[in-house]
Amino acid sequence: MANSRNRSSLLSVDAALDRILASLSPTMPTHLLLGDALGQILAEDIHAKLTLPPHDVSAMDGYAVRADDVADCPAKLTRVGESAAGHPWTGRVETGQAVRIFTGGYVPDGADTIIIQENVDATSEADQTVITVREGAARGRYVRPAGLDISAGELALGKGTLLSARCIGLAIAAGATSALVSQPPRIGILSTGDELVPSGQTPGPGQIISSNAAFLSAFVKSCGAEAVDLGIAADKSGAVSDAVMAATNLDLVVTTGGASVGNHDHIVGDLADGALDFWKIAMRPGKPLIWGKIGKTPLLGLPGNPVSTAVCALVFLAPAISKLAGGTYQQHLFSAAITTDLPENDQRQDYIRATMGRADHGVTSVRPAPRQDSSMMATLAHADAFIVRPPFDPAKTAGDIVTILPMPRLF
Amino acid sequence: MANSRNRSSLLSVDAALDRILASLSPTMPTHLLLGDALGQILAEDIHAKLTLPPHDVSAMDGYAVRADDVADCPAKLTRVGESAAGHPWTGRVETGQAVRIFTGGYVPDGADTIIIQENVDATSEADQTVITVREGAARGRYVRPAGLDISAGELALGKGTLLSARCIGLAIAAGATSALVSQPPRIGILSTGDELVPSGQTPGPGQIISSNAAFLSAFVKSCGAEAVDLGIAADKSGAVSDAVMAATNLDLVVTTGGASVGNHDHIVGDLADGALDFWKIAMRPGKPLIWGKIGKTPLLGLPGNPVSTAVCALVFLAPAISKLAGGTYQQHLFSAAITTDLPENDQRQDYIRATMGRADHGVTSVRPAPRQDSSMMATLAHADAFIVRPPFDPAKTAGDIVTILPMPRLF
């Protein structure tokens, strides 16, 4: 059991995430017009002000009738009016009568059933025309009862709901115009490493461009938060805490690099002992992870290899941003048929860059990139899913079903 | 074969989408800083200006050695220098020598292999210290060769690529600072229907709030395009064309409502005969669909029921926006275990609102909403996937595997 010693010193992905989320609280709420609130998270329940539909309405174009009148068909009825969306007919349908009706039109009093126009012979669209119903319908057919969608007073959207386009549509339909949402969390982004130069500069010998910050800034925005660039901290004691203390109103600081045990990594030294949470996660890429505080600002320290940064951002930072905004974050995993063999996994949960395709029988297939070094950004950029392998996952053969996490579109 | 007559008059979803996409051309390109380009689509190839890594570098913290020196272990070597990220050591490692190295540090000339620090005993971090390598490594171990990620001149991102956070990270790392991207398409949104009042007004008898426009505006933004509110057109001849002709520089107009065969629907009359493409799609919800032109502006006419609007927006409008922006759009379908029985499907491809969960063995499960009326927005807002059933899909039993389309986060 050579692994057991290592295993016991590693924290599982889920346990690490639980610890991070447990110590974060939502930002202050603010009112936004719903039209400006896409991607924000509700800080209050929204109850419907209106009943939808407000009245029994027709689901089809046809004729509103009394079901008893069309029990025996063909049946002849006299057209007495017309009800269209926005133009209700206010009379009452008596025995032997029908009202021409269009989708969304109010079902008039007395009528209880809609006969679709395909089942009616009518010689004109004039009132007093005698129409022939060729095929009847059960009582209530094609009637949408008032409140079918939602009733006034009912909960439309709960606190914590992400305002997607469809949720905004519902809220607007139910009579809301604005909503209390959590203010977008302000996420400070700080790169560490003497080898880094900002984008736009030409790297000298030993230098590379600070691209993790560019990734994180875009990713943070894709999560609905505000990205605050804190620049690049040198590899020296105090540089990280100085940069964080100089920034204001941050809900969270994310650093990249500086989380390993090498002499040249100083973030850990900048965190007070009591404010440091944990170190090694049972995941690949992304083993070293820092969770602590500088002053009152929570600090998430991601590893510096770009793919490790990205995977940890998806696994830890995105849920943290949702929590800061008062919401929840759920990553759905799916099944796919793998195109190549994979050896048995070790004690770390593996996130393997892969590309989805369509397998023979319509099932999604997934092809792992041949090399998974955590410095390889191009492989990440061209992948669209991770194969997620739990610790000690047995060896896989081409065609086997594996678990995948599709990459979010803007990840 | 009661269905065959209907079937022959319906267009498949794929065929309809092909026709729509075939007639759309990308917008004009514009230069954007990469930091502002999240979600935009590349209108040019981006080639790497830099080689990544620029030199052989270490993937671990440890010692850079000559593999021949550690063929027999334990082996004693003399530390002669230190190479850290950003601080290259410029000497040459000779036989019997080792250089302390940290992740990302340049591998010095002469050295060809990294021994991780866990396999080395060293009494100090001073040069001239004699270290003991307890366990050797194959030549090249933990060395990332120059260009492992990408080499200068190589294609980093192809024209048509969606600029996700990870693609922006790669482009920045490879030396790009800005990119030519397609201008966000300008999408006009026009609601039709005498029953509609704008959000903020109190609906009178027979009236409802125009919520499809709010949905579409948010959805269009979530697709990276610009939403242009064209208001509400009355149910009268010429109203749609007047509203479209009054707007400028639109790449596409989307209407909702007015696409059925009722007397109160006038969009079709506003389209010149030759400019009208098709009518009935073999899908549910969303059968009636208009594809035409008003003047030179392409017009996509979606059905008016809110869920039909939303499903057609996801299935037709999102790919149309991607095409207008010079990109492609791929919707990956996954498998899930259904929680309830479903009857055999008819000739229409069915998009069933459903909620994903976790089934017994880690597989995603999917629960269809009990009622699927296309007016029911609340059901849509609370769903997170569509079960997609092809035409004539056989009956399903609880536990069977079905195909699902997870809803995009901001849909």
Q: Under the phi-then-psi rule, with left for phi > 0, alpha for psi from -120 to 50, and beta for the rest, what region is A110?
A: left
Using CA atoms, how far apart are residues B272 and B258, in angstroms rounded to an integer?
A: 16
Give mean pLDDT, residues A266-290. Answer: 75
Q: Tell me the β-bridge partners of A254.
A: A189, A300
Nearest-CA residue of chain B relative to A364? B334
Residues B83-136 have pLDDT tens digits of 998 899 999 999 999 999 998 999 999 999 999 999 999 999 999 999 999 999
Residue B10 pLDDT class (50, 70, 90 cuts)? confident
Residues of chain A contacting residue B140, judged by C-beta atoms under 8 Å apart: none
Give mean pLDDT, residues B184-203. Answer: 94
**Residue of A41, A50, A53, A55 lying closest to A157 (CA atoms):** A41
Q: Which one of B377, B380, B400 makes the best mutation probe of the A interface by having the most chain A beta carbons within 10 Å?
A: B377
Q: Would an 8 Å CB–CB cutoff place B50 in contact with chain A? A: yes
Using CA atoms, how far apart are residues A382 and A368, in angstroms rounded to an integer?
A: 11
Classified as helix, coil or strand, A103 is coil
Which of B54, B235, B410 is the closest to A203 by Cβ?
Answer: B54
CB contact (8 A) between residue A170 and residue B381: yes
Task: Supply the pLDDT for residue A287.
Answer: 78
Exposure letters B241-270 (e unless 16+ CB within 10 A, then b)? bebbeebeebbbbbbbbbbbebebbbbbeb
Residue ranges of A 363-392 with Cβ closer than 8 A to chain B:
363-364, 373, 375-381, 384
Contact (Cβ atoms closer than 8 angstroms) between residue B237 and residue B265: no
Using CA atoms, how far apart are residues B60 and B103, in angstroms rounded to an integer?
A: 5
Percent share of chain A, pLDDT over 90: 80
- Burial, A116: exposed, middle or buried (Cβ in 10 Å; 0-12, 13-18, 19+)? middle
The residue among A263 and A245 whose pLDDT is bigger is A245
What is the DSSP track for B343-388?
A: PPP-SSEEEEEEEEEE-TTS-EEEEE-S---TT-HHHHHH--EEEE
Task: Supply the pLDDT for residue B278.
Answer: 66
Question: Residue A366: what are its φ and ψ, rounded to 5°?
Answer: -145, 130
Tokens of A130: 């005698």
Nearest-CA residue of chain A relative to B259? A103
Q: Which CATH class is domain A29-52+149-182?
A: alpha beta
Tokens of A379: 């492989």
Q: Would an 8 Å CB–CB cutoff place A402 in contact with chain B? A: no
Q: Which numeric CATH code is attached to A334-406?
A: 2.40.340.10
Q: Would an 8 Å CB–CB cutoff place B235 in contact with chain A? A: yes
- Asked: is A2-27+184-324 a CATH 3.40.980.10 domain? The reply is yes
Classified as helix, coil or strand, B8 is helix
Task: Supply the pLDDT for residue A18.
Answer: 94
CB contact (8 A) between residue B170 and residue A381: yes
Task: Supply the pLDDT for residue B175.
Answer: 97
**Residue of A256, A257, A229 lying closest to A243 (CA atoms):** A229
Count CB pairs under 8 A between chains A and B: 306
Q: Would an 8 Å CB–CB cutoff place A54 in contact with chain B? A: yes
Q: What residues have CB less than 8 Å from B174, skipping those under 6 apart? A: B46, B47, B48, B49, B50, B52, B150, B156
Exposure letters B71-81 (e unless 16+ CB within 10 A, then b)? eeeebebebbb
Q: Would an 8 Å CB–CB cutoff place B204 in contact with chain A? A: no
Using CA atoms, how far apart are residues A401 and B286, in angstroms rounded to an integer?
A: 34
Q: What is the DSSP letter of B275?
A: G
Task: Supply the pLDDT for residue A309.
Answer: 96
Give mean pLDDT, residues A256-268. Answer: 64
**Residue of B249, B57, B277 lying closest to B147 (CA atoms):** B57
**Residue of A330, A333, A323, A327 lying closest to A300 (CA atoms):** A323
Nearest-CA residue of chain B relative to A263? B102
What's the whole-number average pLDDT of chain A? 91
Q: Which CATH class is domain B2-27+183-324?
A: alpha beta
Contact (Cβ atoms closer than 8 angstroms) between residue A65 and residue A115: yes
Tokens of B353: 């609102």
**Residue of B171, B180, B110, B115 lying closest to B143 (CA atoms):** B115
Tokens of B64: 């850079």
Give mean pLDDT, residues B216-222. Answer: 97
Q: Are β-strands B349-358 and B385-389 bridged in parallel, bridged antiparallel, or unpaired? A: antiparallel
Residue ranges of A 323-362 with Cβ closer than 8 A to chain B:
332-336, 356, 362
Q: How far is B310 from chain A (nearest CA, A)?
A: 7
Q: What is the DSSP letter of A105?
A: P
Domain boundaries, chain B: 2-27+183-324, 29-52+150-182, 57-144, 334-406
Give mean pLDDT, residues B1-21. Answer: 70
Task: Supply the pLDDT for residue B241.
Answer: 87
Tokens of A63: 């004729």
| Amino acid at the residue B291 | W
Task: Supply the pLDDT for residue A253.
Answer: 96
Task: Supply the pLDDT for residue A364.
Answer: 86
Give mean pLDDT, residues A162-191. Answer: 97
Q: Would an 8 Å CB–CB cutoff place B34 in contact with chain A? A: yes
Residues of chain A contacting residue B332, judged by C-beta atoms under 8 Å apart: 356, 364, 384, 406
Residues of chain A contacting residue B375, judged by C-beta atoms under 8 Å apart: 52-53, 57, 59, 144, 148-149
Q: How far is A107 from chain B (nearest CA, A)?
A: 11
Using CA atoms, how far apart are residues B290 and B299, in angstroms rounded to an integer?
A: 7
Residues A292-341 have pLDDT tens digits of 888 889 999 998 899 999 999 999 999 999 999 999 988 889 999 999 99
Q: Which one of A47, A58, A164 makes the best mutation probe of the B interface by having the most chain B beta carbons within 10 Å?
A: A164
Q: Which numeric CATH code is attached to B29-52+150-182?
A: 3.90.105.10
Q: Is the model's pLDDT at A359 over the cut of 80? A: no
Q: For the sheet containing B130-133, what is the strand order?
A: B113-116, B62-65, B97-101, B75-83, B130-133, B120-121
Task: Supply the pLDDT for residue B262.
Answer: 54
What's the whole-number average pLDDT of chain B? 91
Q: Are β-strands B97-101 and A252-256 bridged in parallel, bridged antiparallel, or unpaired? A: unpaired
CB contact (8 A) between residue B86 and residue A203: no
Residue ranges of A 2-21 with Cβ closer than 8 A to chain B:
none
Task: Supply the pLDDT for residue B287.
Answer: 78
Domains B29-52+150-182 and B57-144 share a fold: no
Q: Is the model's pLDDT at A125 over the cut of 90? A: yes
Residue B237 pLDDT class (50, 70, 90 cuts)? confident
Instruction: Record the pTM.
Output: 0.92
Q: How far is B120 from chain A (nearest CA, A)?
A: 14
CB contact (8 A) between residue A195 and residue B332: no
Q: What angle do CA A7, A8, A11 make, to 5 degrees?
A: 80
Q: Is the model's pLDDT at A153 over the cut of 90? A: yes
Q: Give me the architecture of the B57-144 domain, per CATH.
A: Beta Complex (2.170)
Exposure letters B170-203 (e unless 16+ CB within 10 A, then b)? bbbbbbbeebbbbbbbbbbbbbbbbbbbebeeeb
Tokens of B228: 């242009």
**Residue of A333, A319, A13 lying closest to A162 (CA atoms):** A319
Residue B3 pLDDT class (50, 70, 90 cuts)? very low
Contact (Cβ atoms closer than 8 angstroms) between residue B116 and residue B64: no
Task: Supply the pLDDT for residue A1.
Answer: 31
Using CA atoms, how far apart are residues A282 and A347, in angstroms rounded to an integer?
A: 7
Q: Is the model's pLDDT at B4 over the cut of 50? A: no
Give mean pLDDT, residues B9-17. Answer: 89
| Amino acid at the residue A374 | S
Residue ranges of A 91-150 with Cβ closer than 8 A to chain B:
102-104, 106, 125, 144, 148-150
Task: Supply the pLDDT for residue B265.
Answer: 61
Q: Is the model's pLDDT at B394 over the cut of 70? A: yes
Q: Is the model's pLDDT at B259 over the cut of 90? A: no
